[in-house]
A = this chain, B = another copy of it.
Amino acid sequence: MAHLDDLTEFLSIPSVSAEPKHAADVDRCADYLVGKLSSLGFSAKKYKTDIHPIVVAHSPRVEGKPTVLIYGHYDVMPIDPIAAWQSPPFEPTVREGRIYARGASDDKGEIMAHILGAQELIEEQGSLPLNVTYLFEGEEERGSYSLQEFLKRPEAQKELACDIIVVSDTGMAAPDVPSFSYGLKGVCCFELEIFGPKMDLHSGIFGGAVANPITTLCEMLATTHDENGRITVEGFYDGVSEIADWEKESWKRVPGMSDAELADLTGVPALRTEKGYTGAECVYARPTFEPNGIVGGYVGEGSKTVIPTHAVAKISCRLVPGQDPVDIMRKVEAHFKKVCPPSVRMKFTMQHAGDAYMSDPHSPFGKVAQRALEETFGNPPVLVREGGSIPVVASMSKLLGKDALFLGLDLPDARIHSPNENMRLDIFEKGIAMAKALLRLMSEVKA
């Protein structure tokens, strides 16, 4: 089917934004979008940036109708561990009603659903009933640096001027339960490196006399949470507001998000949540501190009894409204400086950061979006917050002065960021129908 051909072609391009070796692939992916949108009559343009290009496309102008800015990202996460993939991540493969490929649900599947939804409207009615601007970036998985810079330029803000922002890079609760999100987590990423001896040391000849950087790194990371799972960094929770009772109530009804269901889905023997909160509450509304990677010393075959020169941890925090990512990184750095012993040297490196965001689910466009979801999926959407982050959305909303709405298609078992990422084909088709309904219904809102 034509829809699947378009999606397969799009998914076949290995647009991994974090790895320099894929730079040309990311660029090729942007060209693909420009070509596809131009063929639909959009004026599509590829903007060069310091890293990866930004694609902006406008539908033919319709006077007196609102303008909707639809945001997505065409870059994808790295693929390792490659051995865990049942089919090659960039050779889209259909198994049991799902298409498996890196980017299938995050975020190429959604982008293609929006494009194909518009395409069907154009094929049926000759043109779109409102003004659509597509904004697709190639750096979301690495921090959206270039789009953040792009948004600061007045001419860019003029070009992206709109009445409402639609983001389709979020989750849905279950195949028959659409999700309408009104919040996103912020994020900050940083590295902590611990330096000990100037060369790898024989653990017999020097062991006991010098600090082991691995031990020290572990001891320092172990100071970040207390026995209740609360983060101990001083001031970490400043400005964090409690979860509203109506939220707690509605989140209890979100399919798949009970503690038992979360444990089953992830395969853990038991959840580990912040004391006093359910898994869903921690995912949607509590900040986190997660080492995403750690390495030090000899990790090859056999054993090598060394005290290594250094050890490093890559860490990210998910943040909630009221927390400033850079302020949080400063507080974390201060915490580590406080607990770092004199027997080692530490290096703290700030990486990318993005604000959390919350919008009003009850605005006119918000209500219309929920109706589009209900029409398409046959059920009213559940109102949730996202555990994930789209760092650039907060800036976009602030700089363009408009709300952002989140209509997601990622199912909990879509394995985004994991091996065997996939999208259900029936959800993909519904995504196309949802995109059509959204444009039709939004065209009736008074801009």
Measuring CB to CB, which residues of chain A are less than 8 angstroms from any residue of chain B?
Answer: 18-20, 77-78, 80-81, 84, 142-143, 171, 185, 187, 189, 196-212, 214-215, 217-219, 221-222, 224-225, 259, 262-263, 266-274, 277, 279-280, 282-283, 286, 288, 290-308, 311-314, 316, 318, 341-345, 351-352, 386-389, 410, 412, 415-420
Contact = CB atoms under 8 A, between A and B. Distances in A.
A209 B279 contact: yes
A205 B418 CA distance: 12
Given A291-B214, A299-B295, A417 B305 contact: yes
Contacts of A204: 185, 187, 283, 318, 386-389
A274 B209 CA distance: 8
Contacts of A208: 273-274, 277, 279, 282-283, 286, 288, 318, 387
B196 A268 contact: yes
A206 to B, nearest CB: 6
Contacts of A388: 202, 204-205
A80, A283, A293 interface centre (most CB from chain B within 10 Å): A293
Given A262-B206, A318-B204, A187 B305 contact: yes
A294 B297 contact: yes
Nearest to A259: B209
A203 B318 contact: yes
Secondary structure at the A interface, as helix, strand, loop or mixed, is loop
Given A219-B222, A221-B222, 8 more contacts: A20-B301, A142-B302, A189-B305, A198-B266, A205-B283, A205-B387, A207-B283, A219-B221
Contacts of A274: 208
Nearest to A143: B303
Given A271-B210, A292-B203, A302 B387 contact: no
27 contacts: A19-B301, A78-B298, A80-B298, A142-B303, A171-B205, A199-B267, A199-B418, A199-B419, A201-B418, A203-B316, A205-B388, A208-B277, A209-B272, A210-B268, A211-B271, A214-B292, A215-B222, A268-B344, A292-B308, A293-B296, A293-B304, A293-B308, A294-B299, A295-B299, A299-B314, A303-B352, A305-B417
